[in-house]
Structure 1
Amino acid sequence: MGMTSLLLSTAASATPYSQATLTHAERLHQHALTSDSALQTVESLTTEVGPRLAGSEGDARAVAWAQAKLQQMGFDRVYLEPVEIPHWERGYADARVTLPFPQPLVITALGNSVATPEGGIEASIIRFPTLADLQAAAPEQVSGKLVFIDHKMERDKEGRGYGPVVKARGVGAVEAAKKGAVGLLLRSVSTSSHRFAHTGVMRYIDGVARIPAVAISPPDADQLTRMLARDSDIRVKLDLEAMDHGTTTSYNVIGEITGDRKAEEIVLIGAHLDTWDEGTGALDDGAGVGIVTAAAGHILALEQRPQRTLRVVLYAAEEIGLLGARAYRDAHKGELDKHFIAAEADFGAGPIFRLDSRVNERALPAFDQMHALLAPLGVERGHNHSWGGPDVSVLPPLGVPVAGLSMDGTDYFDYHHTPDDTFDKIDPDAIRQSAAVYTLFAWLMANAEVDLRPIPLPEER
């Protein structure tokens, strides 16, 4: 069944979408599939700005770039909202096996790590297959050693292998320090076999010694394991210069297309502007920036105004703890009841393969009808317990409906948080399809005659 037939059959039944809305959706669909604006936006961001670690000079340039980009596109309103954030700098990082098989290791400091003492740390390593194994170890096994957590990540289209291993990145240094370790070597949270180390944020807690923490590339993790099979006493020297520069201010960058009948109601589509500093942040999350700005741009280009206000939010400081998302939530508490729905693109460039939601069950037929329009783009209908994406995940606990436009992330964690996250990794067809899906989602939600509240209560995460 073609797109036009789907429109007619959908309109013939009870529907929250008027015939005018559906007809314009067809025009938007055709326009989006002939546009490379999402790809061009990522090319501009990664070329003209590059890495944009929260708090860095690159972050400030990204904010200026985004503000200028949205103004150039013709949004009715473009504005910045401040976000107070810590400014951490990676600095020099080096690790090498000193005995009995001297050779260098490929590492990167984990975000927020402290530096080593001047001259570095040299100690024997102790390997644990998982964080749980470290937590179960006796302190006398660990004291004075470098803890090596060697938990391999499973490849999965939806990234479900991430959750079981990423906790070790977040709390591994704390758990190691509790048992007297002098540092942490973490197998990169990665599905790749390439010799890149994958960074990411870690945390300390008050009352526990702050020890340096690094990720090592998957091949180097395998190398250490092979060494330990030959000799139980493998010594490693670790040297970090990571620096804490205190707090600074970044900004959420926001653009709005004002609705013509229900301007006080908001359809939010977002992505995060910050990145880690190793690559140029093309997949994480330059692609998301390209996708959501392109979706709004398609609606602007066809010059038919939505009923509700379409708000594009480019969040600050997602990588270091959803700081921009929390600042947005707090700054907009007075209007969250007017947020009709929110969604975020933050899992690479796509393609989008499934439409998920968290809306009132009475509203599910509206999503089923939306799915009929998305199905020709290769999108399946999913579940009704979505969190909407990392930054918008702070909204469902306050009753805001969300949608999850799930992207194929089969190879996402090959590049995630590495120097290899660069523009050439983006598939032009995939990002074009993702932008088309977001365009149709935004348009339909901005014009739907349906009540999405109250939503199912979120589960504990």
Structure 2
Amino acid sequence: MLDQTLLMQTLQDIANTGERLSNPSEENAFIVIAEAFKNVGAEVNIERVPLFVSTVDNVRMTADGQRIKALGNAMTLPLDGNNPRQGTVSVQGRLRILSASDWQSYEKKGNSDEIVLLNGLANLNDLRKAQALGLKAVLFDTGDRIHRMIVSDVWGSPTPGCESRYVTMPNASIKHSDALTLKDGMRITLELAINSRWTTSPVLMAHVRHNEQNSEAFTAIVTGHIDSWGDGALDNASGIAAMVASAKEILTLKNRKHDVCYVIWSGHSHGRYAGSTAWHDKHFNWLNEKVFLNLNCDCLGAVGSTILGKTPVMASTAALARKAHEGISFTEAFTRFNRSCDQSFMSMGIPSVFSNISEVPPSGSVSMKVAGLSGVYGPYWHTTDDTMQGIDPQALMRDTEIFTNGLIQSVIEGPDALDLMAEWNEFSTTIREKLNVVKEKQSTDSISEAFVNEPIWQELLDKLSEMNIVIQKRAVEANSQVKVQTLKHIVAMAYSASALGLQDRAGQKARSLLVEAFEKWTKAKEESFEYFSAWTAMVRGANQLFAQLKSIERL
């Protein structure tokens, strides 16, 4: 039975450290968490990794001379040339208030000095559009509370060549009641105190070893971030408290056959997953050889979190998630993982399950409608009000029990808790469907026919059929090591991320090239440059995918 007193006390102790953004409060929080893990009997180790983080430490905003409270978003103007930006950025302009439909069709005319006010959370697409239009700045009305976001798609700390991906558009967020006081044409002054820097940040690892003789023991990593906006009770002291409580429970298991490594890092919100990426890079070989599963733990037990079942899973981990929910009623379908929640391990194909467990229903209030939160984590997420008021103790116990159930199943069954065939079937079906569409839509144009008749299309379909037999046999007969490596190959292909802006090897995977090229081809005008360019990319993607399938066969 989970220790609710331990769960709530750990949560309170972490929240009490305050806002954690690569600062003394965060260093103190690591000490608090290390002590909590030691007290339940886990082996604790802390190391340091390099991170690039960027925050806006202060915003001064006036409208016709009147002060308006505003907060800045992470990764706003993070670079000054090729150096981290330190100092104040100031802009002035005339306010233009735009609805969503007006903004969609908006085109700046002349040499105006406009600062636009938009509804919703700060986001990269709006900032890139404003940057292309040459606007002065963007303000975001985020509802009843100011929600801070990260406005970058550079995954992890930057590497040479990605500098142009960062936005150079000044921006800040305000709340709806203040937005209502603003009028078109007001003179806006915006001063942003930018604090970008490289730092060395702690990463905490707490180990719970298997207690049976098992020379083939694998490791499940349980991951979560420590950094926070405000006290971060929900995001993510709740997840870390659940990790500590689950560790105490796992240590009581007498039949655990596999290891657990709890990993906690910074740089999630103000470094775009810089902590998980740096730790991934540092421990690449061990992760590749020994880790069979990643259970991410984030934003548990929110007040009003009555929606259950939408937790993210992969095809290979869906059955594990269902077992974890035994005895829990839910009607929502599991969601498929996307590239968020510190999923820095997809490039090497580590299967993943969980992140959030429950969600808050959509609300009709201004804060939800304007901020676009649609429920999910509730009204306190990413705000200075993310305190204990946003936590429901019973909901947190429920979510922690579900999470712990899945972890228990993992350390007992190891790789057998994962469904190799389910992952393969989802991946191969997706590829077949796309290739069949390609062949069905072939043009009578001779050049297009030449592309469609490339041998690689049929070779790839034949290889998928061959591999289906190989993987079916392997799922039944192969040892755990071969099963795990086979599954990792499939996950790496199935969850390849776009190369654009993401600084990891997942961006180079074949399925991404194939699928993105397919999507571009379907939108391109026939016989246009984009049409044939996409054809070329699809053939290249198919060839690379074919080569990767052959590499699975050689295992």
TM over 0.5: yes
Of 10, 20, 30, the match for 1:52: 20
Within 5 Å, give how 1:58-457 maps onto structure 2.
58-75=25-42, 77-98=43-64, 103-114=66-77, 120-130=90-100, 134=103, 137-140=106-109, 143-151=112-120, 168-188=122-142, 193-194=143-144, 196-203=145-152, 206=164, 210-224=168-182, 227-228=183-184, 233-244=185-196, 246-259=197-210, 260=212, 261=214, 264-276=217-229, 279-300=230-251, 302=252, 304=254, 306-319=256-269, 320-334=271-285, 335-350=287-302, 353-354=308-309, 356-360=312-316, 368=322, 370-371=323-324, 374-378=325-329, 382-383=333-334, 385-387=336-338, 390-391=341-342, 393-404=343-354, 406-410=357-361, 411=375, 412-448=377-413, 449-453=416-420, 454=487, 455=490, 457=494
**Partner deviation per Cα, 1:277-329 (whole Å, 9 max, x = no partner):** xx2111111111111221112222x2525211011111221112011111122
Distance in 1, Cα, partners of 2:340 & 2:242: 14
> Kindly, what percent of the aligned residue pairs are identical?
18
Distance in 1, Cα, partners of 2:247 & 2:198: 33
**Partner deviation per Cα, 1:17-53 (whole Å, 9 max, x = no partner):** xxxxxxxxxxxxxx12x62322211101111x11111
Pick closer, same or farther for the CA change 1:381–1:445 going to 2, 3 Å.
farther
Pick closer, same or farther for the CA change 1:64–1:118 going to 2, 3 Å.
closer
Pick closer, same or farther for the CA change 1:96–1:67 going to 2, 3 Å.
same
The Cα shift of 1:186 comes to: 1.6
TM normalised by structure 1 equals 0.74
8 Å CA contact retained: 2:114, 2:135: yes
| Larger strand share, 1 or 2 | 1
Counterpart of 1:307, as a letter, is K
Distance in 2, Cα, partners of 1:208 & 1:315: 23
Distance in 1, Cα, partners of 2:243 & 2:165: 42
8 Å CA contact retained: 1:106, 1:197: no
The Cα shift of 1:104 comes to: 3.5
Pick closer, same or farther for the CA change 1:263–1:136 going to 2, 3 Å.
farther
Pick closer, same or farther for the CA change 1:386–1:173 going to 2, 3 Å.
closer
Higher Rg of the two aligned structures = 2
Pick closer, same or farther for the CA change 1:125–1:117 going to 2, 3 Å.
farther
Distance in 1, Cα, partners of 2:11 & 2:195: 29
Distance in 2, Cα, partners of 1:385 & 1:336: 23
**Partner deviation per Cα, 1:151-187 (whole Å, 9 max, x = no partner):** 4xxxxxxxxxxxxxx5x52354443233222222122
SS, match of residue 32 in structure 2: helix
8 Å CA contact retained: 2:152, 2:272: no
Distance in 1, Cα, partners of 2:147 & 2:136: 21
The Cα shift of 1:418 comes to: 1.2
Counterpart of 1:242, as a letter, is I
Pick closer, same or farther for the CA change 1:378–1:139 going to 2, 3 Å.
same
Counterpart of 1:353, as a letter, is L
8 Å CA contact retained: 1:116, 1:239: no
**Partner deviation per Cα, 1:241-281 (whole Å, 9 max, x = no partner):** 3333x2111122111101232674111222211112xx211
8 Å CA contact retained: 1:134, 1:176: no
**Partner deviation per Cα, 1:383-441 (whole Å, 9 max, x = no partner):** 473359611x2223422111126322335241122111012221110111111111111
TM normalised by structure 2 equals 0.63
| Larger helix share, 1 or 2 | 2
- Aligned partner of 1:4 in structure 2 is none
Distance in 2, Cα, partners of 1:331 & 1:116: 28
Distance in 2, Cα, partners of 1:409 & 1:85: 32
Gaps spanning 5+ residues in structure 1: where? 1-30, 152-165
Counterpart of 2:190, as a letter, is L
Gaps spanning 5+ residues in structure 2: where? 78-84, 154-162, 362-374, 421-486, 499-555
Pick closer, same or farther for the CA change 1:252–1:107 going to 2, 3 Å.
same
CA RMSD of aligned residues (A): 3.2
